[in-house]
Chain A
Amino acid sequence: MDDATLIAQVQAGNDHANRFLIEKYKNLIWHMVVRMVDQTEDAEDLCQEIFLRVFRDIGKFRGESKLSTWIGAIAYNMSISYLRRKGKNIMVSVDDYLPEASQKPAVESADEAIDKSSMKKIVHRVIDSLPVQYRTVITLFYLEELSYKEIEEITGMPDGTIKSYLNRGRQAIREGVLQLVPDMRPELTGTR
């Protein structure tokens, strides 16, 4: 079902179209929200609010962008509003970001074996500690596999900013992982 047909059916009050729209876009919204908001109970409520807004405003969709990016933009703006309401500082620069510097390293000694899944958990810990814009851009690019243009439409950030967030975010993740797994550092310092 293409976007125009889906929108027409939703506006006509077709239950199956409503269900189809939710099923089609719930993962996009959930991934964005859970990475941005970071609290699962609130995240699910926020997802519902986002969908209710989508159903309310779907008549305003003019087809100038893809439906997915229009829905993504609603999810992004509502998540940012939610964070502002909660008093979270959303404009933190990655230069000010210290990847869990005060925490103990995840691995104490080089003898301690660290498997792939543990390493991934460490990577996710570092991602969760990144500023919200970085998490959003990284999620949309890597997880949702959206193009720069689509990310631009969702977040309203210029192309250059998105690329910069991706590069600096990735760099920050690498540094964060090395900080949490110090036994990797001596071997890697020569290449950095």
Chain B
Amino acid sequence: MDPENDRFKELDALITEALKEKPEWELSLSFTDTLLRKVEKRLTWRELIREFAMKTGIVAGALIILTVCLIFPVRESINPFLLLVVDHWQLVAGAGFLILFTFFSDQVLLKFYSKQRLFSDPRS
């Protein structure tokens, strides 16, 4: 056997062996747990937002239907009320925003942060 060829084969074998070796650095031991907590948080947030959107949609839909039902029988006398709303639109918009924000805080933020305490302390 040619010793030069042997050295060449040896080098090739060594390269193959090195290529099949795992990288020197490894993932931290807490990787899976940290990631699962993140996944849980995101899923919870998404779920709460979805529920909030559905509830808001149902309430808004019900209000629209109710308004339409009320307006039709009293079409003539509704104009002064509509004018009042238009004249004070900032107040109406502000009240609407406040109601929506309170609803959002109650349904999403408070629920999320109370659940987050469970994510940060899995024993509780």
> Which residues from chain A sit less than 8 Å from chain B, CB to CB?
13, 15, 18-19, 22-23, 26-27, 30-31, 34-35, 40, 43-44, 47-48, 51-52, 55-56, 116, 119-120, 123-124, 127, 138, 142-143, 170, 173-174, 177, 184, 187-188, 190-191
Interface majority SS (helix, strand, loop, mixed), chain B: helix
Cα–Cα, bound, A22→B35 (Å):
8
Interface majority SS (helix, strand, loop, mixed), chain A: helix
The contact sample of 5 A-B pairs, CB cut-off 8 A, is A31-B22, A44-B28, A55-B43, A120-B14, A174-B15
Residues on A with C-beta less than 8 A from B62 are none
CB–CB A19/B32 < 8 A: yes
Interface residues of B in 3-19 (CB under 8 A from A): 3-5, 7-8, 11-12, 14-19
* B87 interfacial contact with A, CB 8 Å: no
- Shortest Cβ distance from residue B100 to the other chain A in the assembled complex, whole angstroms: 27
CB–CB A119/B14 < 8 A: yes
CB within 8 A of A15: which of B20, B22, B25, B36? B36
Cα–Cα, bound, A111→B15 (Å):
22
Residues on B with C-beta less than 8 A from A173 are 15, 19
**Given A190-B4, A191-B5, are A48 and B18 neighbors across the interface (CB < 8 Å)?**
no
Residues on A with C-beta less than 8 A from B36 are 15, 18-19, 22
